[in-house]
Chain A
Amino acid sequence: MGRITLENVTKTFGDVTVIPPLNLTIEDGEFVVFVGPSGCGKSTLLRLIAGLEDVSGGQIRIDGEDATNLAPAKRKLAMVFQSYALYPHMTVRKNIAFPMKMAGIDQAEQDRRIEAAAKALNLTDYLERRPGQLSGGQRQRVAIGRAIVREPSAFLFDEPLSNLDAALRVGMRMEISELHKKLATTMVYVTHDQVEAMTMADKIVVLQAGVIEQVGSPLDLYRAPRNRFVAGFIGSPKMNFIEGAEAAKHDAQCIGIRPEHLTASASDGQWKGVVGVSEHLGSDTFLHVHDTGLAETMTVRVGGEFALHHGDTVYLTPEADKIHKFDAQGLRIE
């Protein structure tokens, strides 16, 4: 079981309010991702759940029980840290065994769980090494191994992939997702990378300045962002925002259109502009279009290769039903 409920949770450091009253429910077995720009309070929120920080107000409940004042050790949660926080003086085996040793689990059971975890995480050959002798990806696995042997009611991940290189990151992303499917244990995952959020989450919590901007499934957030912040944060490349006369035509203060919902043409279309930088990814091409009179730069995704060059004229046409409308407060207009 791993149902975590936050009720009116607040956190202040001195005079600075990091998290104003916040409510959130994380269902048992869910993979929840906290995402937001750096300094948005997402790591603080995770540390509050972990018990590494005290809440300034409100209540945290784990499986219905009040855990607000419980020491971290008593919350039955496991955490994977950004720096992995492995014990450098212990072998991999001892690192993984540590939480079980603390819990007083007998040796045979410890060995059984270590073997199982090592097998699942491809660490069997490294059990007698020390963290210093491992690569970044292996250390990450040890940290995960140390977390799973406890059989916690929920896993907490604090930007676990940010110290890995790009290729490894994609691999680990899959492994963590796979692990979640297998264990079906609640996972709370903090990242600033919206791609990680989109690919892994059952439920995304978008945070800004300690405030939850929107909670929903990745596709909900993509299709119906509640406000401009979420619209701009979710999706890559970023949504194009257009204000002024063009927006007024849609009875909105601002309209947004994602790069993948624009078509580009050399001959005709709704909006006219000049090609700036084009990024060729092979499968796609991202065109940065200037001088449209709508926004400083409009980004367009074009499938495959695209023949226009820097300085050429280009015409853009939005898919009418994919235009997002926002009011003066930046809120979505349905």
Chain B
Amino acid sequence: MATQHSRSAARIMIAPAVILLLGWMLVPLVMTLYFSFKKYLPLRGGDLGWVGFENYSRFVTSSSFWPSIATTLTLVVSVLVITVVLGVLLALLLDRPMWGQGIVRILVIAPFFVMPTVSALIWKNMFMDPINGLLAHLWRAFGAEPIQWMSQASMPSIIIIVSWQWLPFATLILLTAIQSLDGEQLEASEMDGAPPVKRFWYIILPHLSRAITVVVLIQTIFLLAVFAEIFVTTGGAFGTKTLSYLIFQRVLESQNVGLGSAGGVYAIILANIVAMFLMRIVGKNLD
């Protein structure tokens, strides 16, 4: 319901945002596509001509490709499982009556506000350092040999760090969803004699399914792009090279832009597949 005046005004007003985002999306995308078909080594001769799909096949056949996919999947899936399971438990816990609920909630949310470089560094040095780290002290207190986290258990280390960062997000959203659950529905099931485990399984969990989907999808987007946590801890060594990090290394460290760009195209395709699912769910909520 609007007039011609307001419709044309609307078009003008939305234009800056659309044009900016279109530029932000198209210009680098086209450049990435362009480079991906070239042999392009900025420090070793620059543009060495068209190579067709060679970069694409080289990227996929390189010995690092499949391990990086495996690493990426391990990271994403592990963090998702940990944050969703713990998130549901935490949300259930925080939903119960207690003293100082507000403060507890603030404590739980805090990691989300810590910048990735900081959380990676304090975990790496102050907790996971095999000599002076707090965990090493803890291991020794129990007479065990401290773990060389960053080298022997590099993936678990990164998974722990990233999970710690994302657990608040999952908890916050799941808590919001639990709080929107109709209390009478639970009371009715209690009256019907359903034990707590069944109540959780048949009433709470189905109610949370939508929120869990949202958590999974949004986190997936961000987890696929995990960068700083690897950058400041292992630097991609010890089997922690994700697809994103592999591309980063190809482009900036080995300065093989063509190859990196082909990898970038793969990453974009991967992200778009995830995005399509997310958009569907969000889109449904618009009306």
Residue positions of A touching B, CB distance < 8 A = 51-54, 69, 71-72
Contacts and interface: CB of A to CB of B under 8 A. Distances in A.
B1 A53 contact: yes
Nearest to A70: B5
Contacts of B4: 54, 69
Interface string B94-105: 000000000000
A51 B4 CA distance: 10
A52 B4 CA distance: 10
Contacts of A54: 3-4
| Candidate in B2, B3, B4, B5 with the most chain A CB atoms within 10 angstroms | B3
A174 B1 CA distance: 33
Interface SS majority for chain B: loop
A52 B5 CA distance: 10
Interface in B1-39: 1-5
A310 B251 CA distance: 94
A69 B5 CA distance: 9
A67 to B, nearest CB: 12
A71 B1 contact: no
Interface string B190-234: 000000000000000000000000000000000000000000000
Interface residues of B, number: 5
Nearest to B7: A54
A47 to B, nearest CB: 8
Nearest to B3: A54
B253 to A, nearest CB: 54
A52 B2 CA distance: 7
A71 B1 CA distance: 15
Contacts, number: 12
* A-B interface, 4 closest residue pairs, ranked by CB to CB distance from nearest: A54-B3, A54-B4, A71-B5, A53-B3
Given A51-B3, A52-B1, 7 more contacts: A52-B3, A53-B1, A53-B2, A69-B4, A71-B3, A71-B5, A72-B3
A53 B2 CA distance: 6
Contacts of A53: 1-3
A66 to B, nearest CB: 15
Contacts of A69: 4
Contacts of B1: 52-53
A78 to B, nearest CB: 18
12 contacts: A51-B3, A52-B1, A52-B3, A53-B1, A53-B2, A53-B3, A54-B3, A54-B4, A69-B4, A71-B3, A71-B5, A72-B3
Contacts of A52: 1, 3
Contacts of B5: 71
A69 B6 CA distance: 12
Nearest to B1: A53
Nearest to A44: B1
A210 to B, nearest CB: 16
A242 to B, nearest CB: 43
A15 to B, nearest CB: 16
Nearest to A71: B5
A148 to B, nearest CB: 25
A71 B7 CA distance: 12
Nearest to B9: A71
A56 to B, nearest CB: 11
B152 to A, nearest CB: 61
Nearest to B5: A71
A54 B1 CA distance: 9
B11 to A, nearest CB: 15
A53 B1 CA distance: 7
A199 B19 CA distance: 56
Contacts of A71: 3, 5
Nearest to A48: B3
B28 to A, nearest CB: 40
A28 to B, nearest CB: 26
| Candidate in B2, B4, B5 with the most chain A CB atoms within 10 angstroms | B5
A69 B3 CA distance: 9
B78 to A, nearest CB: 49
B263 to A, nearest CB: 48
Contacts of A72: 3
Nearest to B2: A53
A70 to B, nearest CB: 9
A45 to B, nearest CB: 14
A52 B3 CA distance: 6
A52 B7 CA distance: 12
A14 B216 CA distance: 40
A60 to B, nearest CB: 12
A234 B5 CA distance: 38
A238 B111 CA distance: 70
Nearest to A51: B3
A54 B5 CA distance: 9
Contacts of B2: 53
A72 B5 CA distance: 10
A72 B3 CA distance: 10
Contacts of B3: 51-54, 71-72
A246 to B, nearest CB: 47
